[in-house]
Amino acid sequence: MTTPTWGEPAGPLTSAEFRAAAQAIMANIEQVIEGKSATVRLALAVLIAEGHLLIEDVPGVGKTKLAKALARSIDCSVRRIQFTPDLLPSDVTGVSVYNQETRDFEFKPGAVFANLVVGDEINRASPKTQSALLECMEERQVTVDGTTYELQAPFMVVATQNPIEMEGTYPLPEAQRDRFTARIAMGYPDPRAELAMLSGHGDHDPLNDLRAVADAALVRRLIETARAVHAADAVQQYAIALVTATREAPEIRLGASPRSTLQLIRTAKAVAALEGRDYVLPDDLQALAVPVLAHRIIPTADAQLNRRTTDAIVSEIVHRLPLPHARNPYDTRDGRASYESRGR
Amino acid sequence: MTGRRRLGLVAAGSTLLAAAPLTVIFESWTWIAQCVLAVALIEGAAVATRTFRFPTWAQAAGMTLALLLALTWMFSSGKEIIVPTPDTFAHFADLLRQAGEDTRAFGVPVPDRDGLLFVAVLGVGAVSIVVDLLTAVFRRPALAGLPMLAIYSIPVAVYTDSVPAIPFVIGAAGFMWLLVADNVDRVRRFGRRFTGDGRDVDVWEPSPLAAAGRRIGVAGMLVAVVLPLAVPNVEGGLLTQLTQSGAGTGPGSGNGTGGRINLFASLSGQLNHTTTIPLLKVTTDEPEPFYLRFAIADVLNDNGFGNESPRGSGLGLGLPDPRRQAATQLSSYTEHHARVEITKDLQQNMAPLYSYAIGINNLNGSWAYDQNQQVLYSSRTTTRDQAYDITYLRARYSPEELRQAPRLAANDALMAYTATPGDATVETEVARLTKGKTTDYDKVRSIYNWFSKENGFKYSLATQTTGKASEIADFLTNKTGYCQQYAAAMAWMVRAAGIPARVAFGFTRGTPAGGGVFTITNRNAHAWTEVYFQGFGWVPFDATPSAGVTGSARSGSNWAPDVDRPTPTASTSTGPGAAVPDSSGDPGAANGPNKSGVGEDPAGTTGPAPETTDWTGLWIAAGIALLLALLLVPALRRVLVRRRRHAATAPVAPVVLAAEGITDLTVTAETGRAREDAHAAWDELIDSMVDFQVPVDPTETPRVTAQRLVRDLSLTGEPAEAATLLGTAEERARYARQPLQGAELTSALRRIRSGMSGSASRRTRLRATLLPPSVLLNWRAGLSEWSTRTAERLSGLRESLTRFNPRRLLTRTR
């Protein structure tokens, strides 16, 4: 967990304040990204859930624009890293250089020392560069030459990648993918939104007109508010059941990690707070299962041969898994119980 | 081989189970103890011989020897010491002979007679040997069913009617046990069982296939018991008993433990008895008494004559006086007294009486008198060793008087006694005989006179009959029979002529011993016809040739003189007491035979006959009502559940919505209650969805379910709001810190239910009301859960038992 680096009083917001702040940010972003309110909301939820976002889609649908709009809407430090094959880990984390005047090594912070880090085309960098992000994303700190530097709060990495083009790219390793709270796809805009985009972007880039509507302190308070959202036992059980189901599903070689359970609940809390609720619903988990879990699991070779996407597998699990405490009037429980008793 | 020894034990057990049907034959349980002992000895011999690996013949010999020893010890003649001697076999032969006599002497259930017990033990023991050999030696357990069936056939043969189902079920269960044990052993020989997942299964572990087999077995047994009830042609089933209310047979001899006997069968049994047994003694001040009677058969259908159970009131109310009753007041009467002393050999629950008894004294036990049948009966006491006094009236008739008797109106209730199964031969014969006769009496006499030697009728006790209607009709052609056929045939023909008639059972006068004492034996058992004349009541006509009947009083009556003996002198066979001067000129001089009065007046007689149909109707109505009630149970259950939930969800507090914002999770009585209410309301909604065949998805959240409900049923307005409200309430009750409080859930439930019923088809609506699927599903789930739990408990028990089983092959992982 991070601790705020500058210590102004931060308390939880009331429901109304929270909603006003969140609405302002979302409205701001939507000036740039038309017709994608669900995606925008999810991106904001990931920010409030203290997670990192992986935006994966074909070129030209506004991945980078979303990342930048989110960054612009919040008055905080923003750094952008263009991942290229020749990018080095020290470019990301920072490097110690020898200062002639002080006759000492001086740490030059890298690109991750910001509240919002936008990593563009992350899969174009070599794995060694990608792995420079591992520590900072999870532990929110950077260790260079044995010295550990804390990162600011909030800290969020928004990375984009192109899933179609494989040439010259390095797929993210499992450890890296597991650090992203959610993977979202932009999707093509519908014709109306595309028309609005044409008229809006005709003469100038609306991104330039974007003003910040929140600052880092407000985001920290948003985060604190979301943490206080109530997740009932039944909801937690359901989250565990969902994650466990991915580990037990026959089509999955590697299921979701315990970290993903935590992030699922956190994101659900943020979503619930964004909807003005102070409690998490299984509906939230159902809606978040695919973005939060799908990019972490590895399907079996058979499933891959059958062109089963991880999204499809996860959403099938969601549709198969009964809610905890839900009454099933059709289920006699006979077959299963007796089967289990015989199986021993 | 252990398998064989085990199978032998199972064979012994199942033989004993298969002997269960014998329980209905014996009065007490002595035979079971003896049979168990004998079978145990036999099986002990079998196990011993097998342990020493004796050849098959030696095993059989050993078992036979064991049976012989068991019989010797249990039915000892008193002379042998353990080992049977030639005397023993003579004693056995004696016992067998005695058993033969006893089978004729006793109706079922029989008391503990040595002969009968001997036969039972011998039979069960022999079956046990055969079953053991077939199962353990020849490995053909299915064939062992045949000797077991032999045991079962005994009660079937004895009971003409029906055998209780439970002994059959026990016997069948025994047979199935045998089959199961054999097959388990057989499967075991193939080698080890294993499951699909490659795990070894211990031989004593239950397999799913075995469970299926057991289920099939139970289902088969149920079908075997239940199916005959549905087939109308099988007699004696539950349905027949319900719908005919005991027609065909009545309470017979025995002590009322449920044994039922056919009157005709009992009659022929008495007459065919090889020995003469004194049954009762009568002392009367009447010089020439007519017959003693104790039962009536007044129902005629395809099964021949049968009787209705007598129905009447206790003796405390007094007996009707025929002199003061319109139905019988035309005859003249003389009053007499008689004392009846019954020996221990007449054990029945209908007491012999002279006709028109007006006073009965000194009779022990509770007895009731049926005025219509003129039968004194008891449901608990028997006549055994009873002695009682009768005051009775002897009626006198003359042909002239009887000719005056007016015809019964066609709609008179007594015309029920003219019902016949309809037979062309009988009809033609009656039409020929009654041609040109104007009065009822002349018609009856014409029929009566026809049963004469001149017309080729011959008395013979050798005729074996079952008393079926077709056999009665046959009697008219082959003309050979005894009182049973004569009485039944005459009654039928009189009925066919449109005059009420019935068959009476009783004893003839008996052998006079001087001083007004008559000794009556089983040879005096008799049946005769009674014909109804208005104003005279039931007038007896005995068509049986007097030569065949000991103590016949046929020649003594001037309204029905002996057709074979025109001169009214006593027949040689009737004994000295039968020599009575005929007083045909005097209308009142005849020995008044019994003449059963039918109630007080014609109006009073309308009761009994329709009552039968009333009862039948009532039974059917009750059955239908019961069925309807059973069918309505699910609906009722549904209503009750709904009411309970509505009571739970009725708002008690003013509407206070939970405070928005983040508060601590508080659990107070109010919130707890609000949660329970919301759950109850939600359960009710789910049940309603099941009832109205709206699919329920357990993976759906309450919110989504409510949305789907609104969308799929295209609910609008109030029902839609209600659905959303219920969804929200349940959602908050399950997941939020504060449940929704004070919401109008009950009215919401009502609204949504009406919304659902509005969009459902008529059939669905009807089903939701009458046979709510939610209740049925719930019951089914409960049943299967229960059966699973039971099976698990049983297998757990078995598991704990197999710990002591040295034959366990695999070590348990658990």
In tens, the pLDDT along B684-695 reads: 888 888 888 888
Q: What is the pLDDT of residue A208?
A: 82
Examine the pLDDT at A276 and tell me if it is beyond 70: yes
Q: Is B416 exposed, middle or buried (0-12, 13-18, 19+ CB in 10 A)?
A: middle
A185 in contact with B, Cβ within 8 Å: no
Task: Please tell me which residue, B456 or A83, carries the higher pLDDT value.
Answer: A83
Is the Cβ–Cβ distance between B263 and B294 less than 8 Å? no
For residue B129, name the pLDDT band (cuts at 50, 70, 90).
Answer: very high
Interatomic CA distance for residues B398 and B49, integer angstroms: 80
Residue A7 banded pLDDT, cuts 50, 70, 90? very low
Interface contacts (A, B; CB < 8 Å): 99
Whether A293 shows a pLDDT value over 80: the answer reads yes
Which tops the pLDDT comparison, B709 or B462?
B709
Better pLDDT: B703 or B599: B703
Please give the structure tokens belonging to residue B39.
């079978």
- Residue A228 corresponds to which amino acid? A
Confidence of residue A37 (pLDDT cuts 50, 70, 90): confident
Q: Give, as one character, the DSSP assignment of residue B287.
A: S
Asked whether the predicted pLDDT for residue A332 surpasses 80, the reply is no
**Measured between beta carbons, which residues in chain B are less than 8 angstroms from residue A15?**
660-662
Partner A contacted by B690 (CB < 8 A): yes
Residue A25 Cα, gap to closest chain B Cα (Å): 21
In this prediction, residue A136 carries a pLDDT of 87
Question: Span B773-786, mean pLDDT?
Answer: 85
Check whether B413 has a pLDDT greater than 90: no
Q: What is the mean pLDDT of residues B738-761?
A: 83
**Nearest chain B alpha carbon to A319:** B699
Q: Which of A47, A21, A19 is nearest to A274 (CA)?
A: A19
Comparing CB atoms, the residue among B696, B698, B701 nearest residue A281 is: B701
| B708 interfacial to chain A (CB closer than 8 Å) | no
SS3 breakdown of chain A: % helix, strand, coil, rounded to 5? Answer: 45, 15, 35
Residue A327 CA, chain-centre distance (Å), reads 34
Q: Report the b/e string of B661-676 with b at 16+ CB within 10 A.
A: ebeeeeeeebbeebbe
pLDDT tens digits, B189-205: 776 666 666 666 665 56
CA distance A279 to chain B (A): 5
- Nearest residue, CB atoms, B784 vs list A286, A334, A342: A334
Distance from CA of B715 to the nearest CA of A (A): 22
Residue ranges of A 101-130 with Cβ closer than 8 A to chain B: none
pLDDT at A249 over 70: yes
Please give the structure tokens belonging to residue B441.
């009496």
Q: Which of A132-146, A227-241, B95-109 has the lowest mean pLDDT?
A: B95-109
Query: What is the rounded distance in angstroms from the CA atom of residue B4 to the CA atom of residue A9?
Result: 89
pLDDT digits (tens, 9 = 90+) for A102-150: 888 888 888 888 888 888 888 888 888 888 888 888 888 888 888 888 8
For residue A89, is pLDDT > 60?
yes
pLDDT tops 60 at residue B213? yes
* pLDDT tens digits, one per residue of B347-392: 787 888 888 888 888 887 778 888 778 888 877 677 888 888 888 8
pLDDT of residue B811 exceeding 50: yes
Confidence of residue B465 (pLDDT cuts 50, 70, 90): low
pLDDT at position A302 is: 87
Q: How much is the average pLDDT of B696-724?
A: 86
Overall residue count recorded for chain B in this entry: 814
CB contact under 8 A, B699 and A232: no
> Which of A223, A315, A338, A341 to mutate to test binding with chain B, by most B CBs within 10 Å of its CB?
A338
Mean pLDDT in residue range B693-718? 86
Contact status of B703 with chain A (Cβ, < 8 Å): yes
The predicted pLDDT at position B590 comes to 38
Report the greatest alpha carbon distance in chain A.
Answer: 81
Helix axes A63-73, A37-48, angle to 10 degrees: 50
A18 vs B590 pLDDT, higher one: A18
Q: What's the confidence (pLDDT) of residue B305?
A: 79
Complex ipTM = 0.81
Extents of the domains making up chain A:
229-323
Angle CA B165–B169–B170, to nearest 5: 120
Residue B59 has pLDDT above 80, yes or no: yes
- Position A98 pLDDT exceeds 60: yes
**Does A99 contact B at CB distance below 8 Å?**
no
Tens-place pLDDT, residues B238-261: 443 443 333 333 333 333 333 334
- Percent of chain B surpassing pLDDT 70: 79
Q: Which of B342-346, B434-438, B460-464 has the weakest average pLDDT?
A: B460-464
Collect all residues of chain B within an 8 Å Cβ-Cβ radius of residue A228: 662
Q: Is B676 on the interface with A (CB under 8 A)?
A: no
Say what percent of chain A tops pLDDT 90. Answer: 19
The reported pLDDT for the residue numbered B582 is 41
Q: Report, as an integer, the average pLDDT of A212-219.
A: 87
The reported pLDDT for the residue numbered B232 is 53
How far are the Cα atoms of B507, B717, B719, B749, B767 from residue B752, in angstroms, in the given order?
78, 10, 5, 5, 18
- Report the chain B residue with the minimal C-alpha distance to residue A15: B661
Query: In 3D, which of B11, B23, B33, B9 has the Cα closest to residue B121?
Result: B33
* Binary contact (B662, A225; C-beta < 8 A): yes
Q: Kindly state whether B198 is in contact with chain A, defined as any CB-CB distance less than 8 angstroms.
A: no
Average pLDDT, chain B: 77
Gap from B724 CA to chain A (nearest CA, Å): 15
The Cα–Cα gap between B205 and B198 comes to: 15
pLDDT band at A340 (very low <50, low <70, confident <90, very high): very low
* Phi/psi of residue B132, nearest 5 degrees: -60, -45
Rounded CA separation B64/B71 (Å): 11
**Choice among B243-247, B462-466, B480-484, B672-676 with the minimum mean pLDDT:** B243-247
Interchain CB distance below 8 Å, B785 and A322:
no
Q: How is chain B split into domains, by residue range?
A: 2-196, 264-606, 639-775
**Is the confidence at residue B109, as pLDDT, over 80?**
no
Q: Span B443-455, mean pLDDT?
A: 84
- What percentage of chain B reaches a pLDDT higher than 90? 5
The rounded radius of gyration (Å) of the Cα atoms in chain B is 37
Q: pLDDT band for B208, please (50, 70, 90 cuts).
A: low
B780: contact with A, CB 8 A cutoff: yes
> What chain B residue is nearest to A18 in terms of C-alpha separation?
B661
Q: What DSSP state is assigned to residue A276?
A: T
The pLDDT assigned to B586 comes to 41
- Displacement of CA B420 from its chain's centroid (Å): 26
d(CA A157, nearest CA chain B) in Å: 29
Q: Is A237 on the interface with B (CB under 8 A)?
A: no
Output the CA–CA distances (angstroms, integers) from residue A136 to A54, A108, A111, B460, in the order listed: 15, 16, 11, 119
Query: Is the predicted pLDDT of residue A26 greater than 80, yes or no?
Result: yes
Contact B699 A283 (CB under 8 A): no
pLDDT(B329) > 90: no
Residue B570 has pLDDT above 60, yes or no: no
Cβ-based contacts of A322 with chain B (< 8 Å): 698-699
Backbone φ and ψ for B527, nearest 5 degrees, come out as: -140, 145
Give the per-residue pLDDT at B668.
64
Cα B784 to Cα B422, B641, B726, distances in angstroms: 54, 21, 31
pLDDT at B657: 43
pLDDT at B662 over 50: no
Most confident of B64-68, B152-156, B381-385: B64-68
Beta strand pairing call for B278-284 and B517-521: antiparallel
Which tokens belong to B143? 């064939």
A15 touching chain B per CB within 8 A? yes
- Give the closest of A327, A333, A334 to B686, CB-based: A327
Contact B356, B333 (CB under 8 A): yes
CATH number for the region B264-606 comes to 3.10.620.30
Contact between B387 and B338 under an 8 Å Cβ cutoff? The reply is no
pLDDT at A264: 93
Res A3: pLDDT: 43
Give the whole-angstrom CA distance, residue B497 versus residue B444.
8
Q: Domain A229-323 belongs to what topology?
A: Helicase, Ruva Protein; domain 3 (1.10.8)
Spatial neighbors of B289 by CB under 8 A, at least 6 apart, are B282, B336, B338, B354, B394, B509, B518, B553, B591
pLDDT digits (tens, 9 = 90+) for B518-563: 888 887 888 888 888 888 888 888 888 877 777 777 666 777 777 7
A-chain residues within 8 Å CB-CB of B732?
279
**Residue with the larger pLDDT of the pair B260 and B673:** B673
Residue A337: per-residue pLDDT:
31
